[in-house]
Amino acid sequence: MPWSDDVSGNVSKQYNAHTNMYVTNLNLPHQKLQQEYFIRFASTSPHASSSEQFVALGEDCVPGAWHEAYDCQLEQEILFEITCG
């Protein structure tokens, strides 16, 4: 599940607009989702709005697009597909 957060709150200096986007795996138990470790940073921009970042994320989540990664526990390369719901 993707979500966006405005992290512009600079109190001591000049105001700096900045928007971050994060994703999390909704297949994990709620107890795990409360841990910061399971939240993944996806993008950030001082110029692009959150809706523009969501569009870019949607373009990356096309069905049938497989990605390679290394699984440390299995000690081998794996393939995975990102599905945005």
Query: Per-residue pLDDT tens for 35-76?
Result: 777 777 788 888 888 888 888 888 777 888 888 889 999 999
pLDDT score for 58 = 81
Q: pTM of this prediction?
A: 0.59
User: 34-48 burial, b if ≥16 CB within 10 A, otherwise e?
Assistant: eeeeeeeebbeeeee
Q: How far is CA 39 from CA 3, 6, 24, 47, 79, in A?
A: 10, 16, 5, 23, 21
How do the domains of the chain map onto residue ranges? 2-81
